[in-house]
Amino acid sequence: MTPFILVTLAAAFIAMLVLVPVVRAFAIRVGLVDNPDAERKLHDRPIALAGGLAVFIATGIAFLVGIAYESGWAEFGKMTELSSRWFVLLGASSAILIVGLIDDKWALRGRQKLLAQYVIAMIVVGSGTVMRSISLFGFEIPLGIFAIPVSVLWLLLAINALNLLDGADGMATTVGAFVCGGLALLSASSGHSASTVIAATALCGALLGFLVFNRPPATIFLGDAGSMMIGLMVGVLAMWCSLKESAVVVAAPVAILVLPLFDSSAAIIRRWMTGRSMYATDRGHLHHLLNEKFGPNGMLLVVAGLCTLSSTIAVLSVRFNQDWLVLLGAGAVLGFLVLTRTFGHSECRLLLGRLYHFAHSFAVRPKDCESAKHLRSVQIQGDGCWEPVWEPLVEFAKRHDLAKVQIDANMAWLHEGYHATWQSIRLPEKSMQSVVRIPLFATRPGEDESVPIGKVEVIANSSHESLAQLSYFLEHAEELQAQVSYLVDNLGKKNAAARKKKTNAASASTSDTLVGSEEVEAVHTS
């Protein structure tokens, strides 16, 4: 099997080297570029999009080359049995590529993209790519009426997992390449058809070729078109590669996809538990935090190492039929990220805090529910001192016997996020609540207009007294905003000083290098 795998990899890699410059020039010509912003993007100049188009074409070319090399052109005749599912995958990938290109050019709404993804996923599932049952640690679980919903949910998760990771140079490309490589090995170890192995290998080779242009500093991006298309293909291939008899073995592909799935899950937890929209943008994703901690190149090395570990252990678990190895590999990856506070630590604190609050509520006597209070605060990102803002709010809530006070702030350009809640074990019924929500604002460097960065929410019982309390709170809302503005200004100065120090250090290093070069040249001259 090794020769046709190598041929497929080489064909995909070479095709990408030829296609990317052409696609990049086309994207720039038609204005298909990604402009920087202060919210979540890390680049500081417009970068060409449509890299996914090159990946799609190169994968198709390499797939045909791999099939032809493996068993000659006669293989196309043998593929009649698989023609339907392969053509469906081709059509679905083309459709989601087009949706992504439209989004890259004109920016679709989140719900519009989700609807398109759902329709495409339903077409794939309707063609027969369905998880009828799943096999987990030796137990086969029939899905019955849930087969189609679970299959669609899996594809949607795969599509958006890769899409969410595509926020830093080379991130989604590196993860995608290792995931596809792992799926190819998994398929080969499970004894699946050569066509499935070739498809995963072709996509892996195309992404490795794209990494030449997408590594830091990138000259072209995948765009939503590329990341969603790759996510769809990875999701489908994961189902095909893990198919064993009538059941889909879920442990191994989940372990291979552990990084994008963990990033997606953390984003959902972070936004849901802080009351933000699921479509909200922030800099709390895996690539943002890895880039901040290790730098662009260090980020890719860490990701490559973690993907290698999880994929290797997943393949070994299939090879030796030891499912517990999957837990070991996934646990090692997630443990490294969480315990080193690299990623996921804040989300785990939010989740555990909510679970503790829920469990604690069972131990509180009914008559004490209104008086018993629950307090939690989480520094989601950054190291800003929020106590001068938060503690007066808690004191106000205690003094006026409020039911709940909550603050949530997210300043992407400062890599700062904070969430805190003080509330009764049992809140008043919604029909009996008096609620006040105050937006918080801050000014970004170089801009005159303030932008919303979060909100403060106050809940009291519906009564004349509570209305008076909330009115008093509204009267002093400007003081709260002044405290937030002061905090943001200090964080901005601290961030600017850190950038200046980093720039000076880089300049000094460059100067030392130049001086050293001159000394060497002088020695050679003498």
pLDDT tens string 399-454: 888 889 999 998 888 888 999 999 887 888 888 888 889 999 988 877 878 889 99
Could you give the number of structural domains in the chain? 2
Q: Residues 149, 291: one domain?
A: yes
Q: Which of 252-256, 262-266, 437-441 has the lowest mean pLDDT?
A: 252-256
- Token pair 């999701």 in the structure block, residue: 235
Q: Residues 313, 396: one domain?
A: no
Pairing of strands 33-34, 47-48: antiparallel
- To the question of pTM greater than 0.85 for the whole model, the response is no
Nearest residue to 333 via CA among 261, 382, 239 = 261
Is there a domain that residue 352 lies in? no
For residues 423 and 467, the answer to whether their CB atoms sit within 8 Å is no
Is there a domain that residue 499 lies in? no
How far is 148 from 127, CA to CA, in rounded Å?
Answer: 11
Does an H or E element contain 362, and which?
Answer: none
β-bridge mates for residue 411, sequence order = 416
Q: Residues 174, 115: one domain?
A: yes
Q: What is the pLDDT of residue 236?
A: 93
- Average pLDDT, stretch 157-170? 86
Q: Residues 328, 379: one domain?
A: no
Q: What is the pLDDT of residue 144?
A: 86
The range of the structural domain enclosing residue 63 comes to: 2-346
- Average pLDDT, stretch 295-314? 90
For the cut 70, the answer to whether the pLDDT of residue 208 exceeds it is yes
Is there a domain that residue 514 lies in? no
Pairing of strands 247-249, 133-136: parallel
Q: Residues 145, 229: one domain?
A: yes
Is there a domain that residue 351 lies in? no
- Average pLDDT, stretch 86-95? 93
For the cut 90, the answer to whether the pLDDT of residue 478 exceeds it is no
Q: Residues 319, 442: one domain?
A: no
How far is 265 from 255, CA to CA, in rounded Å?
Answer: 14
How does 160-171 read in b/e, with b if 16+ C-beta sit within 10 Å? Answer: bbbbbbbbbbbb
Q: What is the pLDDT of residue 492?
A: 85
Q: What is the pLDDT of residue 116?
A: 95
- Contacts of 144 by beta carbon, 8 Å cutoff, 6+ apart: none
How far is 333 from 39, CA to CA, in rounded Å?
Answer: 28
Is there a domain that residue 526 lies in? no
Q: Residues 340, 384: one domain?
A: no
Per-residue pLDDT band for 199 (boundaries 50, 70, 90) equals: very high
Q: What is the pLDDT of residue 202?
A: 95
Q: What are phi and psi of 410, to 5 degrees?
A: -145, 115
Is there a domain that residue 516 lies in? no
Q: Which residue has the higher pLDDT, 376 or 526?
A: 376
Is there a domain that residue 523 lies in? no
Return the half-sphere exposure (C-beta side, CA atoms, 13 A cut-off) of residue 176.
Answer: 37
Question: Which pLDDT tens digit goes with each residue over 364-410?
Answer: 777 776 667 778 888 888 888 899 899 999 998 888 888 899 999 98
Q: Residues 103, 187: one domain?
A: yes
- 3-class secondary structure per residue, 261-279: HHHHHHHHHHHHHCCCCCC
Q: What is the pLDDT of residue 41?
A: 53
Work out the mean pLDDT of the chain and round it to a whole number.
84
Q: What is the pLDDT of residue 81?
A: 46
Question: Which pLDDT tens digit goes with each residue over 313-331?
Answer: 888 887 777 778 888 888 9
Q: Residues 89, 199: one domain?
A: yes
Q: What is the pLDDT of residue 244?
A: 60
| Strand blocks (E) in 412-484 | 416-424, 433-443, 450-461
DSSP 18-75: HHHHHHHHHHHHTT-EE---SSS---SS-EE--HHHHHHHHHHHHHHHHHHHHH-TTH
β-bridge mates for residue 381, sequence order = 417
- 3-class secondary structure per residue, 338-355: HHCCCCCHHHHHHHHHHH
Q: Residues 253, 395: one domain?
A: no
In the chain, what percentage of residues exceed pLDDT 70? 88
Q: What is the pLDDT of residue 503?
A: 66
Q: Residues 376, 469: one domain?
A: yes
Q: Residues 75, 176: one domain?
A: yes
Of 485, 501, 516, which one is at a domain's C-terminal end?
A: 485
How far is 345 from 339, CA to CA, in rounded Å?
Answer: 7
Is there a domain that residue 247 lies in? yes
For residues 425 and 402, the answer to whether their CB atoms sit within 8 Å is no
